[in-house]
């Protein structure tokens, strides 16, 4: 990865009335990097992408994309980026090739170069044999691959992927991950993606920023984020979670404790040696334990550590945030 930055974001905020969809975020993305914005729906990820691609103006702050200011050089930014939106945006009544050709014409790519590039991206996403099939007969995974191909036709320096595998089955999702990773390795295209899939961010991204309620909570490589927790994670299924948590308070071997959905999550050193002590303590105090499991820290554990909730629990608050978002936009218009 090169040291030069493809994207520089400084204190960017987006407000709708009094509601802050994005709240003063800052980060850099290196050339050739796969960078992920990880968080629940309503966290501000898509709004961030829309500002960086000039679809939405920021309320405050500044950002450069491919060396261009997102306020002053909007046309240059747009020529430098490709965007795959969260919602499908293909024309189902056209063939795959026709969808790509229409996109290339919009970018004023000449006929000879257009034909060469379309053949190239169809080969990249393994849709050569389906190029002349009407898109409405494509599977969900094929449509997503065609959208990625379309985003590459004009040879963008930076590719933005907004929830690239949402709605796909696990097997197809993994195939899309491999296409994205292969594209990055082959062309060194800088890729910025948003996702609420923990495993997607872990598998794909060189660095991950956890975003929650419009704020950037923490940013690092997946490995470094997991290493921050240290030790092992013990998950204890227990109805009287508060009582057990109080009994465990003061134990020096416990680095962190969080409570979620009928579980206590304990970050400890030498976890396999600590399980008997936890069970014994619970038994002595008449606290029933349903199950105990031990694992190495994951990005899910990192999310819980920094936000106090699982990303699935945050989905609910994300829906509330989107409702507030819509209300703020409505109020701003009246």
Question: CATH number of the domain that 237 lies in?
Answer: 3.30.70.260
Domain that holds residue 133: 5-223
Three-state secondary-structure class, residue 126? coil
* In a shared domain, residues 174 and 28: yes
**Residue 324 falls within a domain, yes or no?**
no
* In a shared domain, residues 236 and 219: no
* In a shared domain, residues 130 and 250: no
Q: Domain total for the chain?
A: 2
Three-state secondary-structure class, residue 197? coil
Q: What is residue 207's predicted lDDT score, i.e. its pLDDT?
A: 98
Q: What is residue 315's predicted lDDT score, i.e. its pLDDT?
A: 57
* In a shared domain, residues 237 and 205: no
Tokens 């309320």 locate to: 59
Distance in angstroms (rounded) separating the CA atoms of residues 30 and 16: 30
* In a shared domain, residues 127 and 169: yes
**Residue 100 falls within a domain, yes or no?**
yes
* In a shared domain, residues 183 and 284: no
**Residue 138 falls within a domain, yes or no?**
yes
Tokens 């470094």 locate to: 224
What are φ and ψ of residue 287, in 5° steps? -100, 120
Pairing of strands 60-65, 5-16: antiparallel
- The enclosing domain of 13 has a CATH number of 3.40.50.300
In this structure, are residues 141 and 172 in contact, taking their beta carbons and an 8 Å threshold? yes
* In a shared domain, residues 43 and 128: yes
Q: Show Cβ contacts of residue 148 under 8 Å, excluding neighbours closer than 6 positions.
A: 84, 125, 159, 161, 164, 176, 179, 180, 183
Q: What is residue 331's predicted lDDT score, i.e. its pLDDT?
A: 43
Q: Looking at the DSSP assignment, which residues form a beta bridge with residue 236?
A: 264, 292
Residue ranges in the chain whose pLDDT is less than 50: 1-2, 316-334
Q: What is residue 225's predicted lDDT score, i.e. its pLDDT?
A: 93
Distance in angstroms (rounded) separating the CA atoms of residues 57 and 162: 18
Three-state secondary-structure class, residue 46? helix
**Residue 102 falls within a domain, yes or no?**
yes
User: Exposure of 168 by Cβ count < 10 A (0-12 exposed, 13-18 middle, 19+ buried)?
Assistant: middle
Query: What DSSP element (H or E) covers 321?
Result: helix 311-333
Quick one: CA dihedral 71, 77, 78, 84, positive or negative? Answer: negative
**Residue 69 falls within a domain, yes or no?**
yes
Of 223, 239, 260, which marks where a domain is finished? 223
Both tokens assigned to 103: 């996109």
* In a shared domain, residues 128 and 157: yes
* In a shared domain, residues 215 and 237: no
* In a shared domain, residues 163 and 131: yes
Of 171, 195, 223, which marks where a domain is finished? 223
Of the CA atoms within 13 Å of residue 272, those in its CB half-sphere come to 1
In this structure, are residues 191 and 35 in contact, taking their beta carbons and an 8 Å threshold? yes
Q: What is residue 319's predicted lDDT score, i.e. its pLDDT?
A: 41
* In a shared domain, residues 32 and 151: yes
Distance in angstroms (rounded) separating the CA atoms of residues 209 and 12: 15
**Residue 311 falls within a domain, yes or no?**
no
**Residue 321 falls within a domain, yes or no?**
no
Q: What is residue 313's predicted lDDT score, i.e. its pLDDT?
A: 57
Q: Looking at the DSSP assignment, which residues form a beta bridge with residue 289?
A: 238
Distance in angstroms (rounded) separating the CA atoms of residues 91 and 88: 9
Q: What is residue 325's predicted lDDT score, i.e. its pLDDT?
A: 45
Question: pTM for the complete prediction?
Answer: 0.80
Q: What is residue 27's predicted lDDT score, i.e. its pLDDT?
A: 97
CA end-to-end distance (rounded Å), the chain:
48
* In a shared domain, residues 197 and 253: no
Of 170, 190, 223, which marks where a domain is finished? 223
Chain centroid to Cα 284, Å, comes to 44
**Residue 26 falls within a domain, yes or no?**
yes
Q: What is residue 169's predicted lDDT score, i.e. its pLDDT?
A: 85
Q: What is residue 312's predicted lDDT score, i.e. its pLDDT?
A: 67
């Amino acid at each position: 990865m090169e040291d030069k930055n493809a994207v520089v974001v400084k204190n960017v905020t987006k407000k709708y009335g009094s509601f802050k969809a994005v709240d003063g975020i800052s980060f850099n993305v290196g050339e050739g990097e796969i960078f992920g914005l990880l968080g629940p729906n309503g966290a501000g990820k898509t709004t961030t992408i829309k500002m960086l691609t000039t679809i939405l103006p920021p309320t405050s702050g500044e950002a450069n994309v491919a060396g261009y200011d997102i306020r002053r050089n909007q046309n240059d930014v747009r020529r430098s980026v490709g965007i795959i939106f969260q919602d499908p945006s293909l024309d189902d009544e056209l063939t795959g090739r026709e969808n790509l050709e229409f996109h290339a014409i919009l970018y004023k790519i000449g006929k000879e170069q257009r034909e060469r590039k379309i053949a190239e991206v169809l080969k990249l996403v393994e849709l050569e044999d389906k190029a002349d099939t009407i898109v409405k007969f494509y599977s969900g995974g094929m449509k997503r691959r065609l959208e990625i191909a379309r985003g590459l036709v004009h040879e963008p320096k930076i590719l933005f992927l907004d929830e690239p595998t949402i709605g796909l089955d696990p097997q197809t999702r993994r195939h899309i991950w491999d296409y994205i990773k292969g594209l990055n390795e082959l062309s060194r295209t800088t890729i910025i993606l948003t996702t609420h899939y923990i495993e997607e961010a872990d598998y794909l991204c060189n660095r991950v920023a956890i975003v929650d309620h419009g704020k950037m909570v923490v940013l690092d490589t997946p490995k470094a984020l997991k290493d921050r927790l240290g030790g092992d994670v013990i998950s204890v299924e227990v109805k009287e979670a508060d009582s057990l948590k109080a009994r465990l308070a003061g134990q020096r071997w416990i680095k962190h404790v969080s409570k979620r959905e009928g579980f206590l999550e304990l970050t400890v050193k030498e976890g396999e040696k600590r399980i008997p002590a936890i069970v014994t303590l619970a038994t002595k105090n008449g606290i029933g334990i349903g199950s105990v499991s031990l694992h190495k820290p994951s990005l899910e554990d990192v999310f819980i550590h920094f936000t106090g909730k699982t990303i699935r629990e945050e989905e609910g608050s994300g829906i509330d945030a989107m409702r507030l978002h819509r209300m703020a936009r409505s109020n701003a218009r009246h």
